[in-house]
């Protein structure tokens, strides 16, 4: 080996044997995934005689993203890139709402003749930077002699403003409260 090459080769060997690497260490992925959960057991209440078809849930366009949303102002939202929904939000709302209705004596069934249809449009499902829980939905029950409709927005729910797990739990409570409001409206159907 030429003397001019010995020093660079020796230096490279010394660096490699000392444990130096040229590549940075991999960092763990900070992303966390959340789902809505039912507050009640998904068992059909005894004596349930009312049935409803739950149509596919409609959500506002900005809620179709996987990151959780925190509202910073009237027209400013923040997508929490490291806090994501584990399933599409409309599927999570449908799953929890169906389970919560069942515990309140309403059987959620596929489309069937003579069964009322429940349509739900979710306009907001997010946290506020101030700790507010912002859940707002319009609903409509069609079928039968007397259609019904309404708006739902709980006012007493709060999250800690930091933990997205806390936000997911409070949004789950909002869906349970929606079921509490809808069950009597569905049960009054002819």
Query: Is beta strand 67-71 parallel, antiparallel or unpaired with respect to 116-128?
Result: parallel
Q: How many CB atoms lie within 10 A of CB 54?
A: 21
Average pLDDT over residues 134-143: 95
Structure tokens at 6: 């010995």
Residue 188 and residue 147: Cα distance in Å, rounded?
A: 10
Inform me whether the pLDDT recorded for 176 exceeds 90.
yes
Tell me if residue 50 falls in helix, strand or coil: strand
What is the per-residue pLDDT across 63-121, written as a single tens digit (0 to 9) for each? 999 999 999 999 999 999 999 999 999 999 999 999 999 999 999 998 777 888 999 99
Q: pTM higher than 0.85, yes or no?
A: no
Structure tokens at 169: 């739990």
Inform me whether the pLDDT recorded for 190 exceeds 60.
no
Residue 140 and residue 175: Cα distance in Å, rounded?
A: 16
Inform me whether the pLDDT recorded for 54 exceeds 70.
yes
What is the per-residue pLDDT across 5-41, written as a single tens digit (0 to 9) for each? 666 676 666 566 655 556 678 888 889 999 999 876 5
Query: What is the model's pLDDT at position 113?
Result: 76
Helix, strand, coil percentages for the chain (3-state, nearest 5): 30, 30, 40
């Amino acid at each position: 080996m030429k003397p001019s090459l010995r020093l660079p080769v020796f230096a490279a060997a010394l660096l490699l044997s000392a444990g130096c690497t040229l590549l940075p260490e991999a960092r763990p992925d900070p992303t966390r995934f959340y789902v809505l959960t039912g507050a009640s057991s998904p068992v059909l209440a005894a004596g349930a005689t009312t049935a409803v078809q739950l149509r596919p849930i409609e959500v506002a366009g900005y809620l179709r993203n996987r990151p959780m949303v925190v509202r910073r102002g009237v027209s400013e939202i923040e997508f929490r890139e490291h806090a994501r929904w584990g399933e599409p939000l409309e599927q999570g709302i449908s799953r929890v709402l169906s389970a919560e209705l069942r515990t309140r004596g309403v059987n959620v069934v596929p489309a069937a003749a003579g069964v009322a249809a429940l349509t739900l449009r979710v306009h907001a499902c997010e946290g506020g930077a101030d700790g507010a829980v912002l859940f707002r939905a319009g609903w409509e029950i069609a079928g039968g002699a007397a259609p019904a409709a309404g708006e739902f927005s709980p006012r007493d729910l709060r999250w800690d403003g930091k933990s997205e797990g806390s936000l997911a739990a409070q949004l789950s409570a909002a869906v349970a409260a929606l079921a509490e409001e809808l069950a009597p409206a569905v049960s009054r159907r002819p």
